[in-house]
Amino acid sequence: MADESERFRALLVSRGEDKQQSVDEVELGLGDLMEGDATVRVTHTTVNYKDGLALTGKGPVIRRWPMIPGIDFAGEVVRSDHPDWRPGDHVILNGWGVGESHYGAYAGMARVSGDWLIRRPDSLSAAEAMAVGTAGYTAMLCILALERHGILPQRGPVVVTGAAGGVGSVAIALLATLGYSVVASTGRRSEEGYLRELGASEVIDREEMTGPAKPLGPERWAGGVDAVGSHTLANVLSMTKYGGAVAACGLAGGADLPATVMPFILRGVALLGIDSVMAPKPLRLEAYERLASDLDRDILAAITSTIGLADVIGAAEDILAGKVRGRLVVDLAR
Do 141 and 255 sit in the same domain of this protein?
A: yes
Domain presence at residue 298: no
Percentage above 90 pLDDT, the chain: 95
Return all residues near 208 (Cβ < 8 A) that are at least 6 apart.
185, 235
- Which contiguous run of DSSP H or E holds residue 284? helix 281-294
Do 112 and 220 sit in the same domain of this protein?
A: no
DSSP 93: E
Count structural domains, the chain: 2
Q: Among 273, 292, 318, give the residue marking a domain's end.
A: 273
* pLDDT tier at 16, thresholds 50, 70, 90: confident
Task: Give the range of the structural domain holding residue 173, as residue numbers without chain letter.
Answer: 134-273
Residue 89 has pLDDT above 80, yes or no: yes
Domain presence at residue 207: yes
What confidence tens digit (pLDDT) does each residue in 281-292 have?
Answer: 999 999 999 999
What confidence tens digit (pLDDT) does each residue in 252-303 have?
Answer: 999 999 999 999 999 999 999 999 999 999 999 999 999 999 999 999 999 9
What confidence tens digit (pLDDT) does each residue in 305-320 have?
Answer: 999 999 999 999 999 9
Distance CA 289, CA 143 (A): 13
Do 21 and 109 sit in the same domain of this protein?
A: yes
The answer to whether the beta carbons of residues 306 and 329 sit under 8 Å apart is: yes
Per-residue pLDDT at 5? 79
Domain presence at residue 280: no
Domain presence at residue 284: no
| CATH value at residue 248 | 3.40.50.720
Do 73 and 142 sit in the same domain of this protein?
A: no
Per-residue pLDDT at 2? 62
What confidence tens digit (pLDDT) does each residue in 153-207 have?
Answer: 999 999 999 999 999 999 999 999 999 999 999 998 899 999 999 999 999 999 9
Query: Pick the residue with more confidence: 110 or 1?
Result: 110
